Chain A
Amino acid sequence: MTATAFFGNALTAYGPALAVLLLYVALQAQLVLLLMTAAFFWLVSSLITSLIWYIITPMQDAAAHGLPATIFVGVTIQEGFRYAFFRLMKKADTGLTSISSRPTSRLNQPINAFVTGLGFGVMSGLISYISQLAESSGPAILPCASCPGTDVFFIGAITTSLFIFLHTAWNMIALDGWYRGSWLPFAFCAACHYAASYGTLLTPSSTVRNGCVISIAICAGLLVVCAALAARTVDARLR
């Protein structure tokens, strides 16, 4: 029963990302490298967030306003690193195109944005959920306060899965905007990121009924919208 929950959570959280990784990204070495680099950038953003969290002690007080503050700092720094990574990629753009399997393709930039976004997402998914996943192999569950009958780890698995692809979509939208010299798409992505992250605060809430459903619905709704916008960036290249 506990192993069942573990594999169920593992597949829910990482199954879709793993499928894309194995069936698409892993087939091309330069994409793997891009993904790893993006993942590293996310990791550094997380490190800086945790340093700030460590230094500014009021953020550690989860009972007060520590949690919203931490989310604000975390999201801001992640988005900052998204831009930093874009600047790096832009510098390497010519090189990246030349080592691409199809150097003449119009889709190299969107594909690179997709893969690096996936890298961002996968690393954020691993860091934020792997401890919970490990705990879910134990006999106990942590009941989800806002949704009686469910447990925090399963809700976390769904959220993780959604966030991986949200990061992918945001990266495609934001990078497309920056390539065109527009900051508006990035601003939209950042706003979505704040919305999705603050939405997750509803999951452990003991006052909001069905908070976990609302949280997942926010993420899923944003994913539909953002995925459509991301698809449009690909479409626009081909016109």
Chain B
Amino acid sequence: MTCTKSRRRSWWPPLWAALAFLASLAGTVSPLVSRSPTKQVAFVLSSVLLVAREQPVNAQSTYLESLMYQGSAVAACIRHLRYGGSVGCQAEPGTTGILYMLSEQSDVATFTATAPDAKYAIVMPYTIFNRANVQALRASGKTSGILLVKAATGFPTPDAWSPDSPTPNAQYGLYANQSEASWHAWNPAGNSLAFDSFDFPIFGITNGPSSLQSAVPVIEAAMANKKTGYSSYPLYAVQFDAFMYAADDAETCLRRGFCDPVGAISVWSSFTPYLNANPDTNKPIVLVSAKLDSTSFIHDWGFIPSGASLSPPVFAVGADPKTGLVAALAVAAALGQYLRAPNSAALAKDIIFTFFDAEAWGFAGSQRFVKDITTPQTCLEAQAPTSACPTSDATCSKPCHFDLDFQSVKIENIDSIVEFDTVGGINTVDPTMYMHVDQQSAANLALMDALKSGVVTPVVNGSVPQTMNIMAADASARLPPSSAMAFLQKRNIPAVVLSDYNTQFSNRFYNSEFDDSATWNATTVSNICALANATAQSIFKLASGNATVPATIVADCNFVQTLMDCFTRNLSCTFLAQFFPLLGQLGLSQLSADAGPFNFNLGVLSYVVSRIIQNVTSTDRGGACLSDTDCPTDYACLIFSTPQTGQCVKGFVRYHWAYGTGIEMNYGSSSFEVVDPTKATWTQSQYRDSSSTNTGVQLRIFQASSARYAGLQLGVGLAITLVAVGATIAIKVYSKRRFKTD
């Protein structure tokens, strides 16, 4: 420091660095604009710090995060979009909240009045999760998110709770054109919360069968906070990760590619001789139908991604709708036993089984099936996969279909429809089954007459035998929400919906997380079995024209029991492992019946139902096999005695896409678009963080410090830095004065 010139120059680099540092703190430095290398280095350094937080790439970060954050298995209320708007929830990135326990109604007022000023993640039971409370929590300005707890100690199950509307899917059904006031309220427990829009995250936790699916860590952390009065930091907090890309409405998000149609895959089938029939014949068809799906307020992700450390809990089990599905499968099995026999006579009418999926979303499965069978189609392009039809399973890629066999189902040939809704008698006093029809027409009355019956329910696992009457429901209510409506919209077909309720759903948990395995018992199985038995015999009479029913047409109550068990309690059961060996190895208990995003992939339920129906409707069996490829066309490799060897089974089973008919593929742009706002246009947002090992919905529990503590840290940092600056300058000044010669 001898001359002033060099001294001034030597001041520049540190000055630049300091300026750049301060500027990068304020976030104003853009390396693109900046020409100064020092600035760029400062920017890069601060970016590196931020990146290190976002993506823990090094081992030390991973180790530290494992000490600081505990993951919890969750599912979330997610954003669904339709034509003209959106419903569901959204989580801004980095939403956190201190866990706050609300146990009963009075706690809501206590929270809004007395909780110290902070952002809270409310832990609450479903019993007090209603619109008024949500609004009160939101209005307090202290709520960052909600954690709904299902079935844990201290979190009671509501007496009745359904997030669906009181008139489910009425705007997509047979009476859509009639005034809203005339719609019959089938679902009195419906609170329509599923159709509200929330600008904050709502996650669901529950004690699943696996230790990885536990609500306990969250509950214990919230209880610990409660003990301190939410004032003694550090407090337990959570971070909600469920950022969803889609915004506005279905049209916008589909155009931007930020959402997928809500959908799944329907299954339809017939007995093997159908394969040999000429599709152009006018042979009448008896359609036996049931739905595959259910839904809930907290939406499941679906099948657990391999490699995920936490398996998300299953909220949409849909036990009650499964009773209808199992009844239809039992009918197919009973009829198959006769038709499989070498001396059986061919039926005068074809029997077709339809298992529609995504019915909770504006009857997507049945509406699409009916739309396709009533629209003449020719395959313009067979080569698959293509970008518009990204599945090698499709035999036609334009229009994209698994196959075009559905064209043989001519709507004018459909002679009658028998649909099973909930038929387990869950929550009903007596096992009466009701037949619902649209109009009291002669054809409908005749069909009801054919199905009418009075039987004694069989004894299953100690159930008490009761007299089951199958009788006409109250005429004024007309048809409940059902797949049959899609057919009736096109043509007046005799159609009966069988259910265990008369004018209101027996299911108090319609399309909710409480419609689970706990709802049914041996009596349910007995009811399903009795109805399936009576209906199988009635359908034989309808289809054959014979008044006498062969002795082999009888429903198997063990089959019913096994299916109910496998579908709602033990997905990895040995029965299903015969059809899907992998399932037996995974050790899964519950199966989500939520439709989820449509991605042309087969869901587990669609797949196992297709295999079961192939087995029970088959009339021809071949040799041993390892997979379907070892069998001839229309044979499937089933009945795995060991995980390796199965048997070729001939059958007629087809898949059909099930997503809203308001949405169609644009083969020009290879993307879905809204084509008909009056039909179902439900889409589901994509998540920011979803990957092969991450569902995109995550919850992390951690301990948080108070704002005052963080302020103290900053104060200490500033203070000692300033002291160091002062000391450095002082020493420089002092030494300059004292050591003039040095």
Please list the residues of chain A having a beta carbon within 8 angstroms of any beta carbon in chain B.
1-2, 4-13, 15-24, 26-28, 101-102, 104-107, 130-135, 137-143, 149, 151, 154, 157-158, 161, 238
Contacts and interface: CB of A to CB of B under 8 A. Distances in A.
Contacts of A20: 724, 728
Nearest to B713: A8
B710 A140 contact: no
B107 interface: no
Contact of A8 (B1, B25, B234, B714): B714
A176 B239 CA distance: 53
What 5 pairs across the A-B complex have the smallest Cβ distances? A11-B717, A15-B721, A8-B713, A140-B702, A16-B724
B234 A151 contact: yes
A140 B68 contact: yes
Contacts of B741: 104-105
Contacts of B712: 8
Given A1-B710, A140-B69, A141-B234, A102 B742 contact: yes
Contacts of B711: 4, 8
Contact of A23 (B14, B67, B723): B14
Nearest to A140: B702
A12 B716 contact: yes
B14 A11 contact: no
Contacts of B67: 142
Interface residues of B, number: 54
A44 B60 CA distance: 19
A106 B742 contact: yes
B614 to A, nearest CB: 52
A71 B717 CA distance: 27
Contacts of A104: 741-742
Contacts of B14: 21-23, 26-27
Contacts of A130: 49, 52
B50 interface: yes
A134 B234 contact: no
A9 B732 contact: no
Contacts, number: 150
A140 B69 CA distance: 7
B64 interface: yes
B742 A134 contact: no
8 contacts: A11-B720, A101-B1, A105-B742, A140-B703, A140-B704, A142-B703, A149-B234, A151-B709
Q: Which residue, A7, A137, A138, A154, has most C-beta atoms of chain B within 10 A? A: A138
A45 to B, nearest CB: 18
A151 B705 contact: yes
A8 B68 contact: no
B717 A1 contact: no
B58 interface: yes
Given A12-B717, A20-B728, A22-B18, A134 B53 contact: yes
B58 A131 contact: yes
A137 B50 contact: yes
Given A134-B53, A138-B702, 5 more contacts: A4-B713, A11-B717, A26-B17, A131-B64, A135-B65
A141 B53 contact: no
B522 to A, nearest CB: 49
B728 A23 contact: yes
A158 B703 CA distance: 21
Contacts of A12: 713, 716-717, 720
B96 interface: yes
